[in-house]
A and B are shown apart, each in its own frame.
Chain A
Amino acid sequence: MEKIITTYSEAETEALGKALGELLFPGAVILVNGDLGAGKTAFARGVARGLKISAPITSPTFTLLHVYQGKIPFYHFDLYRLDDVEELYEIGMEEYLLGEGVSLFEWAEKFCEIFPLEKLVVTIVATGPTTRLFTFSAQSDSYIKIIGALGR
């Protein structure tokens, strides 16, 4: 299942993320792909808002992972600086994936083969200075349902 949604501002992207965040469940895995500056962090900020997290959501590029406590915990990963899949295991990715929180990965495409089959993949393409094309795709029922409810 695939769905395409276009946003025309950062605020719209955050709103889209928020709508998704409100539909997510403990243990959910979201992979966010897109070039530098596509809007992955802006989207993740929205997801956090949807999880009722009001803390500032800053870019996790440098620290690789930011953890927030919300309605359910939010694990915000950024694999931009990682070169070796081993490092991902060493920062404890597997434990987070098995945990009760929502895990969101920026730059997930760098290591796409290691993620569980059940996941939601979001691809962002900048089609203009302020327009972003979002493609949501998933193969498993729980995520297909969520995609169906998005953008209604």
Chain B
Amino acid sequence: MTDLILGVETSCDETAAAVVAGGKKIYSNIIASQMDVHEKFGGVVPEIASRKHLEAVNFVIAQALAEAGCTFSDLAAIAVTHGPGLVGALLVGVNTAKTLAYALEKPLVAVNHVLAHVAANYLVHDIAFPAVCLVVSGGHTSLLYLKARGEAELIGATRDDAAGEAFDKIARVLQLGYPGGPAIDKVAQAGNPEAFTFPRAFSGQDEIFEFSFSGLKSAVINTIHQMRQKGDTVPVADVAASFQAAVVDVLVEKTCLAAKIKGTKTVLLAGGVAANSRLRFCLEEALAKDGRKLFLPPPALCTDNAAMVAAAGWDLYQRQEFAGLDLNAVPVLDIGCQK
């Protein structure tokens, strides 16, 4: 019996494929944008267009199999992200996976992109459940309660901007370039996080786990505009550090509170923003005070990839929660309705 899962991911900018054994061991993990040579802009060129996914998808799959040293017939199942994301982009992966499943007579499993981020942790850590997981990326800011591997409940999300989106937009206003997260992280090292007091949206009696970052975004932009209007030079490092501190404070506070209320010893971090050094440091420190432990994937598994899709797909495969060949892309896909 084989335990190899082929993961396919095309939900947003990245076209990716990976082969993972038993939801744990990565045999290959291919991302189209990283295969290209034109990284000269210092950032990811968004592969927004479905056409680009279409051009790349068969190629990354072939590469993933080749690097893993296996063939289609060695696979146990095919896992694909079917939402949330951009419908045209999702459809490329979904249709490719369906075609493969049909032609190879292999089971198909449909993975939620946010839960795939969570599962990136399972590739590198042995997690003791229950746990709380914070997924923070350009498109998502979600707090999840995990009863067991593959059993997730959404307990909070952003009501407006995602944390990573706020990083990108403030980086743009500060002219720090793209992607904004790493850029802010870097300049903030030399800045004073207490130089400016930016608003922290803790509030919301009924929605204590709901996030909001648009108020912070407009407050930071206001401050910058006012300084520019007066002809003052903007202390970029201080603004970046103070902005980052505000984002991190909220993420840490709510994640710790969730762990406390849910009574979990384990907390996971996932998504592209998990690579932020202040977030990692502050969250780890705050959790340690209460005797809780933080786990997060290495940076390469934090950003969009297909190994995490294969890992999440493994759980569905084991529970025999197979998708039919009528599987569709679901642009707005809730946690817990993954069938």
Which residue numbers of A lie inside 8 Å of B, CB to CB?
35-37, 41-42, 55-56, 58-59, 61-68, 81-82, 86-87, 90-92, 126, 129
Are B214 and A67 in contact (CB-based, < 8 A)? no
Assuming A59-B214, A66-B331, A87-B49, is B88 touching A92 (CB within 8 A)? yes
Are A41 and B172 in contact (CB-based, < 8 A)? no
> In residues 116-149 of chain B, which contact A (Cβ within 8 Å)?
138-139
Contact string against A for B residues 200-236, beta-carbon threshold 8 Å, 1 for contact and 0 otherwise: 0000000000000010011101100000000000000
Provide the bound-state CA to CA distance between A92 and B88, in Å: 8
Assuming A56-B159, A63-B331, is B48 touching A82 (CB within 8 A)? yes
Assuming A65-B86, A91-B86, is B161 touching A58 (CB within 8 A)? yes
Assuming A67-B332, A81-B48, A87-B48, is B86 touching A59 (CB within 8 A)? no
Provide the bound-state CA to CA distance between A42 and B161, in Å: 11
* Chain B interface residue number, banded: 20 to 34
Are A81 and B46 in contact (CB-based, < 8 A)? yes
29 interchain pairs (CB within 8 A)? A36-B172, A36-B221, A41-B214, A42-B160, A42-B214, A58-B157, A58-B159, A61-B169, A62-B12, A62-B138, A62-B139, A62-B164, A62-B165, A63-B84, A63-B85, A63-B139, A63-B331, A64-B86, A65-B86, A65-B87, A66-B331, A81-B46, A86-B49, A87-B49, A90-B50, A91-B50, A92-B88, A126-B222, A129-B219
Assuming A37-B217, A37-B218, is B48 touching A64 (CB within 8 A)? yes
The DSSP consensus for interface residues of chain A is loop
Inter-chain contacts of A36 with B (CB < 8 A): 169, 172-173, 217, 221
Indicate whether B339 reaches chain A with its CB closer than 8 angstroms: no
Inter-chain contacts of B49 with A (CB < 8 A): 86-87, 90-91
Inter-chain contacts of B222 with A (CB < 8 A): 37, 126, 129
Inter-chain contacts of B331 with A (CB < 8 A): 63, 65-67
- Give the residue of A37, A86, A91 whose beta carbon is less than 8 angstroms from that of B214: A37
Provide the bound-state CA to CA distance between A68 and B46, in Å: 24
Inter-chain contacts of B165 with A (CB < 8 A): 59, 61-62
Indicate whether B20 reaches chain A with its CB closer than 8 angstroms: no
Closest residue on chain B to residue A92 by CB atoms: B88
Provide the bound-state CA to CA distance between A82 and B84, in Å: 19
Indicate whether B162 reaches chain A with its CB closer than 8 angstroms: yes
